A and B are shown apart, each in its own frame.
Chain A
Amino acid sequence: MRIVFNCVLIFSVIALPLALTLLFMAFGALYFSRYIEAVAAAVFIELLYHGAEVGLFGAMGSFTLLVLMLVMAVEFLRFFIRLRTR
């Protein structure tokens, strides 16, 4: 299931609008545990589409950092919820 979903994510990076790619990333992060593939997809997006570095948010790596932070936040929330429900 995870491998199939990763293939869909890669296809989405290449051929689908960013909004859909972000939705897939969010779904993956929520459904699978430690969904680091989202960070890999962010790196892939930056390598494929990034142009010149303009400003702080246009710097290479900022999008990846943002996705990594979101994945970490989801993991932290999951850990926190599990701890609470025990």
Chain B
Amino acid sequence: MITGFRHERQKRAAQKRWLAYAAIFVVALIFLRTPLSVAFSSFFATLARPFWVAENSALVWAKDVAQHFSLKQSLIRENARLNDALDSVLLEAYSRERLRAENEELKTALGRADERELLLARVLATPGRSPYDTLVIDVGSDHGLREGMKVSIDGDFAVGAVSRVAKKSAVVELFSSYGNELSVTVGTSSLPAIAKGEGGGNFRITLPKGVSIAVDDLVAIPSFAPQYIGAIEAIEHREGGSLQDLYIRVPFNTHELVWVFVDTLEELDKFSATE
């Protein structure tokens, strides 16, 4: 009799536990899948922002301190290496700027000017903090940000689009997020293709074998002023098939991004990073 009573009590406790878990899940869903989530998200972003800013400042300070303690010889070597790199980059930059100006002049002469208004933003949190390929930046609705605005690096490399906006911060969904699909053109012959996000700044494109492409060819988003998403890192031929896979990589580490530009004039129609 006592055992039966105990068994009954255990059964009731187990039922209560399951009910508690179900209630927790329902509450979590209400938090995440109703319009309330926007308010909560904005509130939490406001709470977290000072920590992100402090962490960024601390990292900059730590880097400075570490440099003070670096060995003199290694600093001299690093300086020489950077000077060499700077020389070659400067040479490229001169010709690039001249070509860009010529390109702009020609477009203006033909009645098509490229209008862009870029807003500089500091990256507060990089993709490594969450299971999502997103950045958190330090500008928000106070600076006129809206969902869908394109985010780039150096104005030429598009990295993603604003997907959620708080007052003083915003979440940027990277184009390379797993599952995203982006219409692109590949190589100098501008082959149209679909780039599939693989996460971590990587894309995959499947094309028929025999098309003229090579490693290091640029992949661009078709627009009036070309915006690149990356370069071909590797080409893999499927055995016995008629297709080949191109692996695209952005030329920077998405985990080390510090500054980005938000194009406040260009918005994607609907945000899913797919144009």
**Pick from B48, B55, B197: contact of A48, CB under 8 Å:** B48
A43, B30: Cα distance in complex, Å: 11
Does B164 reach chain A (CB closer than 8 Å)? yes
Residues of B within 8 A of A45 (CB): 129-131
The minimal Cβ–Cβ distance linking A54 to chain B, given in whole angstroms, is 4
Closest to A11 in B: B51
Are A54 and B273 in contact (CB-based, < 8 A)? Answer: yes
**Band of interface residues on B:** 35 or more
Q: State in angstroms the CA–CA spacing of A10 and B129 once bound together.
A: 12
Residue B254 lies at the interface, judged by CB distance under 8 Å to chain A: no
B32 touches which of A11, A13, A46 (Cβ 8 Å)? A46
Q: Which residue in A17, A47, A54 is a CB contact (below 8 Å) of B178? A: A54
CA distance A64 to B197 in the complex (A): 23
A68 lies within 8 A of B21 (CB): yes
B173 at the interface (CB under 8 A from A): yes
Contact size range, A: 20 to 34
What residues of chain B lie closer than 8 Å to A44, measured between beta carbons?
A: 44
Contact A49 B37 (CB under 8 A): no
User: Is A52 a contact of B272 with CB atoms below 8 Å?
Assistant: yes
Kindly report which residue of chain A lies nearest to residue B45, judged by CB atoms: A48
Tell me whether B227 is interfacial, beta carbon within 8 Å: no
Q: Which residues of B sit under 8 angstroms from A57, Cβ to Cβ?
A: 178-179
Nearest to A45 among chain B residues (CB) is B130
Asked if A39 and B32 make an inter-chain contact with CB atoms under 8 angstroms apart, the answer reads no
Within 8 A of B (CB), among A46-63: 46-55, 57-58, 60-61, 63
A50/B180 contact (C-beta < 8 A), A43-B31, A60-B32 known: no
B177 to A50, Cβ gap below 8 A? no
CB B22 to nearest CB in A, in angstroms, measures: 10
Contact B28 A48, beta carbon cutoff 8 Å: no
- Name 29 interchain pairs, CB-CB below 8 A, sorted by A: A13-B129, A16-B129, A21-B129, A39-B24, A43-B28, A43-B31, A44-B44, A45-B130, A47-B31, A47-B44, A47-B45, A48-B44, A48-B48, A48-B125, A49-B132, A49-B134, A49-B136, A50-B130, A50-B164, A51-B133, A51-B173, A52-B271, A54-B177, A54-B178, A54-B197, A55-B178, A58-B179, A61-B29, A64-B28
A residues whose Cβ falls under 8 Å from a Cβ of B = 11, 13-18, 21, 36, 39, 42-55, 57-58, 60-61, 63-65, 68, 72, 75
Chain B residues engaging chain A, CB cutoff 8 angstroms = 17, 21, 24-25, 28-29, 31-33, 37, 40-41, 44-45, 48, 51-52, 55, 125, 128-134, 136, 163-164, 171-174, 177-180, 197, 271-273
Apart from A54-B273, A57-B179, A68-B21, what are 15 other A-B pairs with CB-CB below 8 Å? A15-B51, A18-B131, A21-B129, A39-B28, A44-B44, A48-B136, A49-B125, A51-B133, A53-B272, A54-B178, A55-B179, A61-B29, A63-B131, A64-B32, A68-B24
The 6 closest A-B pairs by CB, nearest first: A51-B173, A49-B130, A55-B179, A51-B163, A54-B179, A51-B134
